[in-house]
Amino acid sequence: MRFSVTTSPIDKPKAGLRAVGLFQKRKLGLHAAGLDEALQGRVSDVVKAGELDGEAGTTLLIPAPAKGAAATVLVGLGPKKDFAAKAVRKACKALAGLVVERPANTIAIAVEDLLPLQENVGWLVQTLVFAIGDAGYRYTEYKGKEDVKPVRLKHVVLCVTEEQAAEAERACAEAEAILAGANHTRDLGNAPPNVIHPEALAEAARELAGQHKKLKATVLDEKELKKLGANAILAVGQGSERPPRLIALEYSGAGKDEAPIVLVGKGITFDTGGISLKPGEAMDEMKYDMCGAATVLGVMTAVCELKLPLNVIGVVTSAENMPDGRACRPGDIITTLSGQTVEILNTDAEGRLVLCDALTWVERFKPKAVIDIATLTGACIIALGHQASAVLGNDDELVQSLKAAGSATYDRAWELPLWDEYQEQLKSNFADMANIGGRPAGTITAACFLSRFAEKYRWAHLDIAGIAWKSGKEKGATGRPVPLLVRYLLDQVGR
């Protein structure tokens, strides 16, 4: 899918579809009115006939008046007096769903019609690009052609005014890069766990590095992890035929002495729970337990495309959590890379184990900030459902910046407290700490565990268990929180 911005009026671009807005109570939007005139009143006739009342999220397609002419899509925007972001999001989603599978390969959209007073054009362009990009995403790698409805829409033309053009162009380029990154994340997440194993993630990182000059990939295999002393990562992976990997993708967009922002992604390519085996229901979805890692790779894709003047390091800590004769067991005590000992009381709390060694390892980069991204706890879904990531950290400014980036992209995050009192739940009788903190506040105690390995730098943790993928009929990776993270990085360079 390609997106572009133009200052020509809605009826000028060569397009099979034209989308214009309609307010409730039969008020045509600015461009709808213009188009109505050009179409000899056909638009207003249809509206007068009561075919569409303009409720936000409703749409109506008026077929092309003649062969070779364009069809018109009317998009309901709700009542004009409380026209705001919420209605526009609904409208964009409905529009996107209607148009991607139509025969037309180009659509022109009257951006001005859809722009509420309180928002800027950049916001609207981003909302449109994300909505159409989302509706146009398919994962078809393993499906026969007859089985998938093809996306025929290829080109989206955003019609704006002269004054809006510069901002719209910038927003469009940014949103496209974010979309490309998120789609990469979705592809990796949706791929089956017999294909995506730790070495496959390493290969994906190498491939990315091969495509971009400013990117360098480093992969530590099991031998190197042993030499290093990354025993927590090794413990999680020791029950699997596919050994763990620790991967770094270093992007150099700024001077050598500029401290990097480090992203660390949990890459459990399949989480059976290990000896603390998970129940069978929906266990297939534990292929998505590498979505933190996939997010890191998606963000790095976008960073390269945007040529950000920053140093960013994407780290993936990857293992497969399997039950086996060699697997670690409840009661095992390991010495982590940091030197701290951990009593593994539940082998299903494996994410924090692969992360803790990675968090120690990244000290070597002398980071400006470290953000880890992980499908870490089921408790996060209980707390926040499927709307928001949980964000926790040791630096308030960092946490607030991430929240703000989430709001700006509607890829929202919500803060949970990381108070000292919660640390007590991690006490072990036999080691420096246990790897679980009991039922209460499971997302917080998981972050408490991580915090003990992140004391040497500014750090924040995103628990994405509730948002990284959808279950049920629409099962699939969402590509979140790529928008949040790329927005955060753009904010760092004032874009």
Residue 429 beta carbon to ligand BES: minimum distance, rounded to whole angstroms: 18
* Rg of the chain, C-alpha, whole Å: 24
**Only segment of 343-351, 426-434, 467-475, 478-486 that touches Zn ion (CB under 5 A):** 343-351
Does residue 465 bind ligand BES (CB under 6 A)?
yes
394 binds, among ligand BES, Mn ion, Zn ion, none (CB under 5 to 8 A by kind): none
Q: Catalytic: 352?
A: yes
Task: Please tell me the distance from the alpha carbon of residue 377 to that of residue 381, in angstroms, as a whole number.
Answer: 8
Cα–Cα distance for residue pair 36/30, rounded to 1 Å = 10
Figure out which of the listed residues 231, 375, 394, 451 binds ligand BES, where binding follows CB under 6 A. 375
| Residue closer to Zn ion, measured from CB, 268 or 293 | 268
Dihedral over Cα of 301, 126, 61, 98: its sign: positive
CB of 383 to ligand BES, least distance (A): 11
Helix and strand counts by DSSP (H, E) for the chain: 15, 20
Span 254-293, contacts to Zn ion by CB under 5 A: 268, 271, 289
Q: Does 244 bind Zn ion (CB under 5 A)?
A: no
For residue 419, count CB atoms less than 10 angstroms from its CB and return exposed for 0-12, middle for 13-18, buried for 19 or more: exposed
Question: Which residues in 258-411 belong to E strands, given as ranges?
Answer: 261-271, 311-321, 333-335, 341-343, 369-374, 389-393
Q: Applying CB under 5 A, what is the total number of residues that bind Zn ion?
A: 4
Binds Zn ion by CB under 5 A, chosen from 78, 237, 298, 351: 351
Tokens 């000992």, located at residue:
341
- CA dist., res. 152 & res. 98, Å (int): 12
Interface with Mn ion (CB under 5 A), residue from 113, 250, 348, 372: 348
Is 185 an interacting residue with respect to ligand BES (CB under 6 A)? no
* Residue 377 near which of Mn ion, ligand BES, Zn ion, none (CB within 5-8 Å, type-dependent): ligand BES
CA distance between the termini of the chain: 24
- Options 92-100, 328-336, 342-350, 357-365: segment touching ligand BES (CB under 6 A): 342-350
Which position among 18, 90, 287, 352 bears the catalytic label?
352
Cα–Cα dist 283/452, whole Å: 30
* CB-based contact 401:415 (threshold 8 Å): no
Binding footprint of Zn ion on the chain (CB under 5 A): 268, 271, 289, 351
Binding footprint of Mn ion on the chain (CB under 5 A): 271, 348, 350
Give the active site residues.
278, 352
